[in-house]
Amino acid sequence: MQPLDPAEIRASFVNCSRGEAKSITLPADIPWEKRDFLGWRDVKAPGRAYLVVPRGDEVIGLSLRAAAPPKSRLRSNICAFCTTTHPLADITLFSARLAGKAGRDGNTVGTYLCSDLACSAYLRGELKPAVPQPKETLSEEERVERMNEKIGRFVARVLETR
Ligand SMILES: [Zn+2]
């Protein structure tokens, strides 16, 4: 993705207050050319996470809340963005407040994702998940494309109420 400066990142958020956008701890040392979107956990506020996603000429920032680890009998789960299979501890339910009034009224949309939101790094083999992956016939490029489509749909759901 195209590099963004801190002011551009803070200005991109569509589902939180300006005050919250100002208080976000930004990630450091981003390898922009190897990232399709930014996703990070707030090191100073572990329940908070953020996505910054290119969308046409725009960049859309989403503030997320991370749920506590699930109590489930499943041993593993799949990230809804990058389709990486992880042990349950490495998957987190994230919820995003909808944009606009719907969000201020408390409406959210949730999805299960890589706990560290490092989807781009998993797809490029920079990070290895802790469990073996099912065989896939898609190339890396096709998998990145599929991820971008899924992220686009998630962002669209948040923006529907903008
Ligand atoms: Zn992922």
Domain that holds residue 121: 6-159
Does 1 reside within a domain? no
Average pLDDT of the segment spanning 94-118: 97
- The pLDDT value given to residue 24: 95
Structurally, the chain folds into a number of domains equal to: 1
Does 71 reside within a domain? yes
53, 71 in Cβ contact below 8 A?
A: no
Does 131 reside within a domain? yes
Q: How far is the CA of 68 from the centre of ligand 1 (A)?
A: 18
d(CA 72, CA 79): 16
Determine the 3-state secondary structure of 114 from DSSP. strand
Is the pLDDT score of 74 beyond 90? Answer: no
Q: Place 41 in a pLDDT band, splitting at 50, 70 and 90.
A: very high
Q: Place 141 in a pLDDT band, splitting at 50, 70 and 90.
A: very high
Q: How far is the CA of 121 from the centre of ligand 1 (A)?
A: 9
- The pLDDT value given to residue 73: 76
Instruction: Give the distance from CA 72 to its chain's centroid.
Output: 22
Q: How far is the CA of 110 from the centre of ligand 1 (A)?
A: 14
Q: How far is the CA of 79 from the centre of ligand 1 (A)?
A: 5
CA contacts within 13 A on the Cβ side of 34? 13
Burial of 28 (0-12, 13-18, 19+ CB in 10 A): exposed
**Average model confidence (pLDDT) across the chain:** 95
In the chain, % helix, strand, coil (3-state, to 5) comes to 30, 30, 40
